[in-house]
Structure 1
Amino acid sequence: MLVGDNFTFTATPKDQNGAPVVATVIWSSSNITVGTVDSSGKFIALNPGTAMVNASNGSVSGSADVKVSKVPIAPVLTTITVSPPTATLSIGNTSVFTATALDQNGDPMKGINITWTSSDMAVGNVSPDDAMTGADGKATTTFTAIAAGTSMVNATNGSVVGSADIVVKEKIELINLIKNPSFESGRKNWIFYTNGTGRFDIISPGFEGNNASEVTITRRGSNMQLYQKGLTLKPNTHYRLSFAAKSSSGHDVRVVLLKHGSPYTNYGLRQGFNLTMDWQTFTTEFDTKNFNRKVDDGRLMFYLAPYAKAGDKYYFDSVKLDEIQ
């Protein structure tokens, strides 16, 4: 039964032989908070819960179990959340935003029409501008940055609105500090050093272009590295390093940015990367440290010890080191 429903129970008194007899029955409810019963056997459901409806005459009684449930309430759209809640883009870049429609219980709602808008169409626009939520309550749109400024991406249905804040910046052309980053000029600007034995070759094709580097370890040493020196770096500045790499055995590599020369001061990057036997791209960001004025003695080093073994081959390509503003 649902709260507010009623039901009239019928009691049938019988004698010792099972034959119906006329007898006065007294009705009662074991839990009058859940529901009450009157003298005619009519039970009125008041609150969710369970109760027993009893019909008695003297020491003889019969009962029925009653379960009362709350009246189902239709889901009502209460909240729209938008993620990511903030974004910073450069002119010409895009970002996907997701609206999630939630009912009064915080459950996702399917079939909600979301109207997408940009608060400043001069800064950026959205597409599509209409989308229906799926079974997960989600609908998406793509914001395209047009001009520098701020805007809001709004997801609306009726009076319910969710928003995300966007900052669009002028597009900055990143300058790669690495020379010959894809080994298209062969081994130029790159140096291989080992106190074991090995060689540094150029192979084709590369990960993206025509060439890539190949480092072969013939006899393992305690110092094995492929590096580029003479990098100009700013102090306390945010940089992004990306590269493609693999190794014939899946052995790893450590990448270090340091001073090219004694005392070999670390300039902010010392990180291991988990290589496999297939090409992968890796990206990391870091802040330079341990110097307080511009330097031009930076060394970016792919350090193979202690990972590499005799017979291993390492491959590197598309090395980029950019200042992030």
Structure 2
Amino acid sequence: MISIADVERAATRIRGRVRRTPVFAADDGVWFKLEQLQHTGSFKARGAFNRIIAAGDAAAAGVVAASGGNAGLAVAYAARESGIAARVYVPATAPAVKVAKLRTLGASVELVGEKYADAYEAAAKHAADSGALFCHAYDQPEVCAGQGTVGLELLAQAEPDTILVAVGGGGLLAGIAAAVEGRARVVGVEPHTAPTLHAALAAGEPVPVEVSGVAADALGASRIGDIAFAVATRTGAGSVLVDDAQIEQARAVLWDRYRLAVEPGGATAFAALLGGAYRPAAGERVAVVLCGANTDPATLTSPTAAPPAARTPRGRLR
């Protein structure tokens, strides 16, 4: 469990290490938080730095992570900037663009199995055998608190009523929900093919789910994190589901209309707004977190159909 105090401490620790990403006023009452502009192309640098800095001397033996891509990139970057070694275990299905970036950042990369769970088991064993600091992709207090600094920035930048957040393992949702508790509502957005939070809320506890779909490389956890479930339950965070076609459409619209390049996981929260899974009330201020940009630019295309209820963009940064 984490609280706003944990997030505020994380903000102090990582200040100067991460970017305070801008928000973009896209349409009336809709703001994009451009976290795809963060170091290594996703919000995860925040949690990685907070985990490593908070560990102090315990990180001297290096760090190890299991990741389909973005968490590993963040750990590799934070380790390099902190002057320590990093080893990252990834499933063989991880996108080549992310694996190449891991190596560019100086991490030792190990391809293990076909699923995140395989990479996780290998990383945990290496941590136990070597004494390296294990950096979880989403279910450690320091990691969640670091991700929550996105929420603190949003409160100051856009004063949203509601924040839409993509959910895989739930670290970003946990951190943001803790950061804005009592001041804004948080809604998790998940693919129908990877409904970790949705299934947990229905069951009353975290449960395993089958994972597939276009965003599985980033939102591929098969179970919501314990911290995310506890925070979601405490704060009343909800969940809505979108399908792969809506995610692809959202990604295409972000590129075609705003020239914002994001990966499928990064477009998932916007898919809820664009496709109608989440419908704002009149006058409601909605912030959409665009959480990742690690994608092949060649796959960016114009939308095949006009999005519903499109409005004229205002296009203003803050």
Q: TM-score, normalised by structure 2?
A: 0.22
- Larger helix fraction of residues: 2
- Tell which has more relative contact order, 1 or 2 (C-alpha 8 A, sep 6+): 2
Larger radius of gyration: 1
- Larger strand fraction of residues: 1
